[in-house]
Chain A
Amino acid sequence: MDVDLWLPRLLALAWLTPLASFAVILFFGPRLGRSGRYAAQLATVAVGLSCLLSFAALGIWLLHYPLSAAHGAHEPAAQRALCGEWYLLCAFGKLRFVISYYIDALTLAMFCMVTLVALCIHVYSWGYMAEELQEVTDALAPLSDGQPLRRKGRYCRFFQWLSLFCFSMLGLVVAGNLAMVFVFWELVGICSYLLIGFWYERRSAAYAASKAFIVNRVGDCGMLVGLMILLSGLGTLSFGVYYIRDEQGRSVLQAGIFSQVRPARSDFQLQVPDGLVRMSAWREVLKILGAHGGNTAAAEKVISEKLPDWRKSGYGYGLLLLAGLGVFCGCVGKSAQFPLHVWLPDAMEGPTPVSALIHAATMVAAGVYLVGRFYPAFTPEVLLIIAVVGCVTLLLAGTIALTATDIKRVLAYSTVSQLGFMMLALGLGGWLAGVFHLLTHAFFKALLFLCAGSVIHACGVNEMPCFGGLRRKMPITAWTMLIGCLAITGAGIPTLIGLSGFYSKDLILSQGFSFWSANPGLGGWFFFGALLGACLTACYMFRLWYLTFSGTPRDAHIYQHAHESPRVMSVPLVVLALLAATVGWKAPGTDWSLRTLLEQACPPGVEKGLSHGWYWPAVTLPAEKPAHEYYTAVIVEWSAFLVALIGFLAATVIYGMRKLDPAVIRRYFAPLYSLFWHKWWFDELYGLLFVRPVLKLSLLAAAIDRHVWDRLADGSARAVAALARFDDYFDRRLVDGAVNLLARWTQASAYRLRRLQTGNLHSYILWLAAGLIGLFVLLTLYWNYTMAGI
């Protein structure tokens, strides 16, 4: 089988199936069964089909590029990634906008993960969204008269947006150029907007949806800057290199970003591309062009000879850095990293399956995925900034999660924290660690969210202080959630075996450790930050579990009404729990695993590490291989195990065994508690810095509108009205008057003349005679022969 031909076709089919389901539900949704109940089945079948196709594609890939532990380091990039075009949108000279693909092991792993998680969430949503089938009474969206809102159910609309969401995410993953990535990036954003605001009658949901959308726009602004730099410097946004046919049917090489940033002839080491050097040295280029007059060929020769010198003196490096920062800026918004993390916890206003989808497979995964995909083009400075942002984010979110009481918000902050872990790993040079954690996190975070949804479904509230002791009422949810908690904590026996989070988190920590070894001193902060984050993770996850499932019921009413969720919701939980436990394991009998699959996708040159940035030459990003060596692994895994144990024990002592009263601890650390409880005052800070000034400015603009522009518009309207009134007067008085006058005169003379017709025959004859006589008189007086023409 021709892999170059069939793999893109399979993936295109897997990608477009959810779109087809979206279109069908969009146009025929309410007609699919009673109140659209078959929309759910349709969307599920579609995503299930694309899941099957993705796994088939993965199988074909593995047949052609078998995994091996030593694989990858010495093979050229072209053999491990399929690039090409599906459809040409438009071409302007050499600039082409295309629907293209870039398929490597990472793409396939993401495809399988996204479709599998989405499939579980779809099935789960059948049960969770069932109440949308009937008319819904929404007490959280009161009308102006205080009555709860009553509206039609929106069952099929929910699945419609889910399908579009899957399509957008798959498009983003398979995209072969940054322009296409950006399009699907925005599509993912709009889908999340629509789903977060699914209950848009609720004020908080509408607010959260707008917030998510606007905060993401801030990041996208930076991303556009990065895209523009790359497009103007390199003339292409394509990731990979492939051959295309031009108008004459010749084969032409389509340039790619990666081959210019890390050319094969310099052994895939990062170097500033010619285009950016030239763009940066425009003064020198102009000088040379001027010196050669009209002879451009000679001038080009001189320029190309000078390019290496310019590169050595630092031209273009700033542009490359800025482009990387710009792209990362977009990822900061999408993946809810430190300055722009505020939208994600508010996104909890959406239905829980949506939260699961956003947090696990689609929206926030997109940011980390793009950092992973675009990784070869990041300079050491950008990577260090990524690491700092990730480290700050993971600690910030971890501390907030310690105090949050809304079950979904705890999970939301844990997502932010885990995303921080991924960014930290990527920033420290651990490409594999970051991407691996992205994939394992997807499974256990989806599991955790669906479990939380199950609890919310049973109890009707989100607040953990209302739960307690639910283990006895809903055992499946409790035990699957425990597996999820253990997985996210990274539980396992060091150096031997563990749940999926164990493998990925240890990779991250060992990368942090080897960064510390490579950069003694300040470099250690990242490692200790990550350790602290791991400790916090264990603490808040088990706090959540204890508060919800163990102890005695704190709200008897809610406890009495709680029940285990129906089969359609608990089966996805069990499936996801199995996946969350095992996805990090090796396939039995081989050394194939998710990790070796991703190792194969590692961009060439990246595995050697990175150092000697232009601005901070002292920083060295260590290669990933030494980080995984045995002695490092032992130290790191044991320390990770210990800190997680500390976090777990703290949670157990306080919330599980109730040896310490949380209220007492809260009083001891009152200022700190207040800081965490108010989410480090970020919402208030942004409110003060951005929201209020913008509101003030818009009030000012509104006032100017009302008092200046409206006045002008009103004045011109009034002038036109006056003119029209004058015109009307003219018409009525002059034109109509003349016509009426004529008519009235005619009428008056007719009235006068009618008196002649007396009906008296004699008078007629007298008139006749008189007329005759008059005629005779006239003839006698004035008639002559010349008048008759004789």
Chain B
Amino acid sequence: MNIFASPVGMVHYLMVGAVLFVCGIACMATKRNILGVLMGIELVLNGANLNFVAFSAKALVKESTMGIGLEGTVIALFVIALAAAEAAVALAIALSFYHTHATVDVDRGQELKG
């Protein structure tokens, strides 16, 4: 099946999510700058968010007595809030790291190795 020819559906969303995720992973794996790593984390989270939203599409959700059909969307909102909180904490760590090491290179911080 040619995905470029078919109308936008589930698979396209998942593809975009996967690309975002892999980009995030690659960014985290390659960047030595701590801020770059943080950005990679944001990408990974948002890739996952995209999947949540995609799977909460009306057609996929089974009729249920418990839910109201917004579970995926709500989780995506939670993840966004979480990402914001995580960014705040991570930036504080980055600042502190800079204070102690006078750099933002993550390879320089290896004090906690086993």
Contact = CB atoms under 8 A, between A and B. Distances in A.
Interface string B27-47: 011101000010000000000
B83 interface: no
B106 A758 contact: no
Nearest to B25: A769
Interface in B5-58: 25, 28-30, 32, 37
Given A766-B29, A769-B25, A761 B113 contact: no
Closest 8 CB pairs of A and B: A759-B113, A757-B114, A759-B110, A754-B114, A761-B106, A765-B29, A765-B28, A769-B25
Given A759-B113, A769-B25, 4 more contacts: A760-B110, A762-B30, A762-B106, A765-B28
B63 interface: no
B107 A761 contact: yes
A755 interface: yes
Contact of B113 (A757, A762, A765, A769): A757
A734 interface: no
A755 B114 contact: yes
Contact of A759 (B29, B30, B32, B111): B111
Contacts of B113: 757-760
B114 A762 contact: no
Contact of B114 (A756, A761, A766): A756
A440 B71 CA distance: 128
Contacts of B107: 760-762
Interface string A743-778: 000000000011111111110011011001000000
A765 B114 contact: no
A758 B29 contact: no
B112 interface: yes
A762 B29 contact: yes
Contacts of B37: 761
B35 to A, nearest CB: 13
A765 to B, nearest CB: 5
Contacts of B106: 761-762
A765 B25 contact: yes
Interface in A471-524: none
Which size bracket describes the interface of A in this complex? 10 to 19
A759 B113 CA distance: 4
21 contacts: A753-B114, A756-B114, A757-B113, A758-B110, A758-B113, A758-B114, A759-B109, A759-B110, A759-B112, A759-B113, A759-B114, A760-B107, A760-B110, A761-B37, A761-B109, A762-B29, A762-B30, A762-B32, A762-B106, A765-B28, A772-B25
B47 to A, nearest CB: 12
A760 B112 CA distance: 9
A168 B30 CA distance: 112
Contacts of A762: 29-30, 32, 106-107
B65 to A, nearest CB: 18
B6 to A, nearest CB: 22
B74 to A, nearest CB: 22
Residue in B29, B107, B112 with the greatest tally of chain A CB atoms within 10 Å? B29
Nearest to A762: B29
Contacts of B109: 759, 761
A675 B112 CA distance: 110
Contacts of A766: 29
**Best-buried of A759, A760, A768 by chain B (most CB within 10 Å):** A759
Contacts of B30: 762
Contacts of B32: 762
Contacts of B29: 762, 765-766, 769
Interface in B81-114: 106-107, 109-114
Nearest to B111: A759
A768 B28 CA distance: 11
From B32, B107, B113, residue with most partner A Cβ within 10 Å:
B113
A758 B37 CA distance: 18
A759 B107 CA distance: 8
A307 B93 CA distance: 125
B45 to A, nearest CB: 14
A756 B111 CA distance: 14
Contacts of B28: 761, 765
A176 B106 CA distance: 113
A759 to B, nearest CB: 3
B55 to A, nearest CB: 14
Contacts of A756: 114
A753 B113 CA distance: 12
A596 to B, nearest CB: 119
A765 B22 CA distance: 12
B112 to A, nearest CB: 6
A160 B29 CA distance: 103
Interface string A721-755: 00000000000000000000000000000000111
Contacts of A759: 109-114
A185 B96 CA distance: 104
Contacts of A755: 114
A761 B110 CA distance: 9
Nearest to A761: B106
A766 B29 CA distance: 7
A769 B30 CA distance: 12
The residue in B25, B30, B114 that gathers the most chain A C-beta atoms within 10 A of its C-beta is B114
Contacts of A753: 114
Nearest to B27: A765
Contacts of A754: 114
